[in-house]
Structure 1
Amino acid sequence: MTLPVTFVEVVEVRRITPRTARITFAAEELSDTVGTVPDQQLKLCFPRPGQREPLLPARQDDPMDWYRAYLAIPEEQRPLLRSFTLRGRRPGTRLVEIDFVLHGDTGPAAAWALRAAPGDRLGMVGPSALYAPPVPFAETAAAADWVLLAGDETALPALATLVGALPEGVRAYAWIEVADRAERQELASRAELEVVWLYRDGAAPGAVLAEAFPSGVLPAGEPFVWLAGEAGAVRAIRRHLVEREGVPKENIDFTGYWRHRLTQDDAPTAEDLADAQERAAGY
């Protein structure tokens, strides 16, 4: 499987909420499959200080060869990789939209997005099933009695594409934790969708969402559940659903997008590795 690698250039920056920037990029190359299914994962490559654009290895037929070439770049020149979900593609164009959560000047992605302007260039690797094999979401959801999607603001781009893919007649619930009321976004769906917004208002990330489950009233019947966001909160919610609510493990698609007080550059914890092994084993 060839790993798609290209440069992308900023053409527009919009603040869709006080803490979220939606940035439109023009891609030099883009597969026809990009933007055709929900929850497409990709990685953005950020330049090091002093670089106009990141230093990217040439595309390789073997994805591991590309990654080895990436690691061979001297560390001070090697671009920083961060994971994102494609928010959308403008039909008939090579324009893609990616949402950035602006949580301050503490990480390379947020710091870059705070200053992003037309003409700025990044590298884009993917979208590719190598990062997240696509779940046949609409079909799986339609077969369940009801669907629950839960996450924080980092999960909103993926969650929005998923509820947009739900067919008519599906009963769906979305529980979303955000910093405050100003961070709400409109979600379009053909399904019978009920959205519950949960506000941190200063609480620890993930805490409000995790606490909502024991006190929440879940419908009867067999669900399909999609969880994403802060890894500790996702882990706690999944444990509650399996152990207290009796939801089969195979009915839960879960991903820890980020870790409180840790970055993607930090080594995975034992719990991170256990989650990865369980996902690889099909839950």
Structure 2
Amino acid sequence: MTDSPYQYFDVRVVRAERLTPAMIRVTFGGPDLPRMASGGRDQRIKIFLPHPGQDAPVMPDTGTGTGDTLDWYAAWCALDPAVRGIMRTYTTRALRRDPHELTVDFAVHGAAPSPADGPATSWARTARPGARVGVLAPVDEENGAYDFRPPRDTDWLLLAADESALPAVAGILEILPPGLPTRVWVEVHDLADRQPLSSRTDTEIHWLTTEGATTGAIRGADLPQGTPYAWIAGESATVRAVRRHLVGDRGFARERVSFSGYWRRNTTTDELIDRGEAA
């Protein structure tokens, strides 16, 4: 086996707060967090949640947390789905030092519990200090689990997302250099779900409240001149539609459009995992 750029971390909730009706921020602590790294931007991590009645997620033997990640993932898949830790993919919203803390924002789609809530939403709604979860995260800042990689010759940026990718948008905007023209479209369920987004760039942010409206909004937009780079994330069908418009209608070079489906309408994450599409 070769060392992996990722490690399994056993962490506990330090605090939880509701940012908006549709977003809960959870901050984690743990003795091994000094080893955790982040490339910033849209850094992906895997979170493993316990089933109801469990104090901590049931996981395969991770040893020191290094080794072949694919072998480790296969070992997790081999565990009983009714018992093993519930795996979901999230974005590192912040990784702080002194104290060492990991912050993750959970989109919960409404202030009140709903029969449509998945296990991660249900967990986030009731997260309390001391609750244990597992996190698979990088130990190297340069790793393959983030997509925002604009070429050096980029003249301006286009970001398109929904609430599931809003934490990534916030992280991206925070690291951009001053003055870079940036156009942003974000779909939220309600205008009450808007968040302050900090940026040093020449940024225009458009908040949309109709699901799937992003393509039409961008289609009617007057975009900057010059060489673009686009980053698109959120519901898979909307992501594909925006990409088709940018490449087919706007003439964006394919290699200058980064796109990622964070979720798929009418399909659960567990169904994607069963099909091998969410690893």
TM-score after normalising by structure 1: 0.86
Residue 173, structure 1, aligned to residue 183, structure 2: yes
Once the two structures are TM-superposed, the CA of residue 24 in structure 1 deviates from its matched residue by 0.6
- The amino acid across from 2:255 in the alignment is E
* Whole-Å separation in 2 of the counterparts to 1:36 and 1:91: 15
Matching residue of 2:44: 41
Tell me what 2:98 maps to: 92
Cα deviation per residue 1:40-96 (whole Å; 9 max; x = unaligned)?
Answer: 110100112221110122234111221122123222211110000000022323211
Identify which of 254, 260, 269 aligns with 2:265: 260
Amino acid corresponding to residue 264 of structure 1 in structure 2 = T
Cα 1:133–1:188, aligned 2, differ >3 Å: closer, same or farther? Answer: closer
Corresponding residue of 1:9: 12
Alignment of structure 1 residues 108-127 onto 2, 5 Å: 108-127=119-138
Task: Indicate how the Cα distance of structure 1 residues 4 and 31 shifts in structure 2: closer, same or farther if over 3 A, else same.
Answer: farther
TM-score norm. by structure 2 comes to: 0.87
Q: Does the CA contact (< 8 Å) of 1:22 and 1:98 recur in 2?
A: yes
Shift of 1:218: 1.7
Paired residue secondary structure (2:270) = coil
Q: Is 2:237 aligned against 1:232?
A: yes
Kept in 1, the 8 Å contact 2:42–2:146? The answer is: no
CA contact (8 A) 1:42 1:131 kept: no
Deviation at 1:134, TM superposition (A): 5.2
The residue number in structure 1 matching 2:80 is: 74
Query: Which has the higher relative contact order, 1 or 2, with Cα contacts under 8 A spaced 6 or more apart?
Result: 2
Distance of aligned partners of 1:98 and 1:198 in 2 relative to their CA distance in 1, 3 Å threshold: same
Match of 1:158 among 157, 168, 180: 168
CA distance, structure 2, for counterparts of residue 172 and residue 164 of structure 1: 12
Per the alignment, do residues 37 and 54 of structure 1 end up closer, same or farther by CA in structure 2, a change over 3 Å counting?
same
Whether 1:132 and 2:133 are equivalent positions in the alignment is: no
Aligned amino acid, residue 235 of structure 1: R
| 1:223 aligns to 2:250 (yes or no) | no
Deviations 1:92-133 (A, max 9, x none): 232111000112452010011111111111110114776625
Please tell me whether residue 241 in structure 1 is matched to residue 251 in structure 2.
Answer: no
State the Cα distance separating 1:35 from its structure 2 match: 3.9
Q: Specify the code of the residue in structure 2 equivalent to 1:112.
A: W
State whether structure 2 residue 191 is matched by structure 1 residue 186: no
Q: Distance in 1 between matches of 2:230 and 2:39?
A: 22
- Which consecutive segments of 4 or more residues in structure 1 shift more than 6 A? none
Return the match for 1:212 from 182, 195, 217.
217
Which amino acid is the alignment partner of residue 165 of structure 1? Answer: I
Q: What residue is the counterpart of 1:28 in the other structure? A: 31
Correspondence 1:18 to 2:29:
no
Q: Pick closer, same or farther for the CA change 1:95–1:133 going to 2, 3 Å.
A: closer
* Aligned twin of 2:69: 63
Unaligned residue ranges in structure 2 (runs of 5+): none
Cα RMSD after superposing both structures? 2.3
Letter in 1 for 2:265: H
SS of the aligned residue for 2:48 comes to: strand
Query: 1:197 aligned to 2:210?
Result: no
CA distance in 1, matches of 2:144, 2:153: 25
CA distance in structure 2 between the partners assigned to 1:242 and 1:134 by the alignment: 18
